Amino acid sequence: MTPGATHLLALLPGDPDIVHPMVALLLAILLYAAAWAIGRALAPRLRHRLPPLGDALAGHVRAILRHGVAALLLALALVLWPTGSLAHLVVGTALGGAVALLATHILRGLAIPRWAVAPLALILFILIVSGSSGGIVPVGEMLDRIGFTLGKRRITLLGLLSIAATCVALFAAVRLTNRLIGRSIQKTDGFDPTQKLLAQKLAAIAVIVAAFFIGVDLLSIDLTAFAVFSGALGLAIGFGLQKTFGNLIAGIILLMDRSIKPGDVIVVGDSFGWVNKIGVRAVSVITRDGKEHLIPNENLMTQEVENWSYSDRNVRVRIPVGIAFDSDLKLAQQLMLQAAQDSPRVLRNPRPNVWLTSFGESRVEHDILVWISDPEGGVGNVKSDVLGRVWQLFRDNGIAIPYPQRVIHHAPDTGRP
């Protein structure tokens, strides 16, 4: 407590045991109101200047600023009263609430489950309130006495709480870092979509590895204790996780050679659709029916894949049409060409074309050949639109589409068995 603060508090009339807690409560309320106003004013500016941070915290920026500023102001206010006084406890309780709410909004903004957020926020609140009342050391000693012995190690409640808090904090830091890096990479103009996705995957792996070693250091884990299990772990990876690591490496290779990219239209076996995303284990392909097929990355490396938009997004669609033998051939072909040109998704360059392909049993076979540049929109609807226009033009101009014809010879009945 500073001399200036002591002199200022001595000027207050009345019993200090009653007046000082009331002043502390009023001061905590005023500081929280000021923090509320500061957070309301600064949140839009922060989201404008640091858009990746605003996107990463999913709409919790204002609440985080509000409680963060309140925690800072309340921490400065603690110097006004000596440790152990009732006024110090009042401000410490408000500070504990602000820190707990700050941690809650940060973790919820990162989509951490409530069951993991609530215990951590409660621990922070108890620790700060205990420190304000001068009892943080006894609380720590009490938690350290509760435990049991397992082999040569003693496992205590304090140790378990520390491990849980460290894991949640590291998980939140990894998620926040990945979101910030992901948003920053997405806004970079020098990369194409495939390079951006590859950079995000590699950065995510690097962040997870770094968090693992930081956690080991913070928790003072001796990695030599796991040397006995290294052989079993290697066998597990070699046999049980072989496919998992194979799919991981295959996904990275796909992104590096850019043979398949998000947005490409591909055909793998019976699956036809556009690539939604390339994950660690599988590629998500969404069909025209809205079904999402998860195809393992290894399958795309070992099986034959049709990529309709690998080097050129233009795709040619073949639409068969037959007309009667006695129809005006040139007029029918002109009408088919007109129907193709009038379809909104058909490209003008390359221009559509009509080919006579064969003389069938009951009709003259033609192919209408059209080009589209958006295969992810499907080809069936293009065929349907062109055929509908052909049908209407044929009806208006007297062009017949014949039915299959068969000649049946009936032998006369001779009366013989």
Q: Is residue 220 part of a domain?
A: no
Cβ pair 392, 316 in contact under 8 A: no
Alpha-carbon gap, residue 220 to 228, rounded angstroms: 19
**pLDDT for res 331:** 92
Alpha helices (H) along 223-285: 230-235, 242-257
253 and 371 share a domain? no
Q: Is residue 175 part of a domain?
A: no
335 and 254 share a domain? no
Per-residue pLDDT of the chain (417 residues; tens, 9 = 90+): 445 444 445 445 555 566 767 877 888 888 888 888 887 787 777 666 655 555 656 567 778 888 888 888 888 877 766 666 777 778 888 888 888 888 888 888 777 777 778 877 887 887 777 766 655 555 656 666 776 776 667 777 767 777 777 788 888 888 888 877 887 787 777 666 767 777 787 888 888 888 888 887 777 766 665 555 556 566 666 666 677 777 777 877 777 777 787 878 888 877 788 888 877 778 888 887 778 888 888 888 878 888 877 777 788 889 999 988 888 889 999 999 999 999 998 998 889 999 999 988 888 999 999 998 888 777 888 899 999 999 999 998 988 888 776 667 666 666 555
Number of neighbours of residue 360 by Cβ within 10 angstroms:
12
286 and 382 share a domain? no
327 and 250 share a domain? no
373 and 326 share a domain? yes
Q: Which of 291, 307, 323 is the last residue of a domain?
A: 307
Range of the domain at 122: 3-134
Identify the CATH number of the domain in which residue 387 sits: 3.30.70.100
303 and 319 share a domain? no
389 and 348 share a domain? yes
Q: Is residue 111 part of a domain?
A: yes
What's the token pair of residue 133? 């009342």
**pLDDT for res 387:** 93
Alpha-carbon gap, residue 396 to 393, rounded angstroms: 5
Question: Which residue(s) pair with 140 in the sheet?
Answer: none
Looking at the structure of the chain, the number of domains it has is 3
| Mode of pairing for the β-strands spanning 292-296 and 282-286 | antiparallel
334 and 261 share a domain? no
Alpha-carbon gap, residue 127 to 136, rounded angstroms: 6
Identify the CATH number of the domain in which residue 272 sits: 2.30.30.60
Would you give the DSSP letter of residue 239?
I
Q: Is residue 328 part of a domain?
A: yes
Q: Is residue 228 part of a domain?
A: no
Q: Is residue 162 part of a domain?
A: no
What's the token pair of residue 237? 């990876």
**pLDDT for res 356:** 92
**What's the Cα-to-Cα distance from 166 to each of 68, 106, 163, 170, 388, rounded to whole Å?**
20, 15, 5, 6, 65
Global pTM reads: 0.52
74 and 125 share a domain? yes
Q: Is residue 187 part of a domain?
A: no
| Cis, peptide link before residue 350, omega less than 30° from 0 | yes
**pLDDT for res 2:** 47
Number of neighbours of residue 62 by Cβ within 10 angstroms:
20
270 and 388 share a domain? no
322 and 303 share a domain? no
Helix or strand (DSSP H, E) at 341? helix 329-342
319 and 287 share a domain? no
Q: Is residue 13 part of a domain?
A: yes
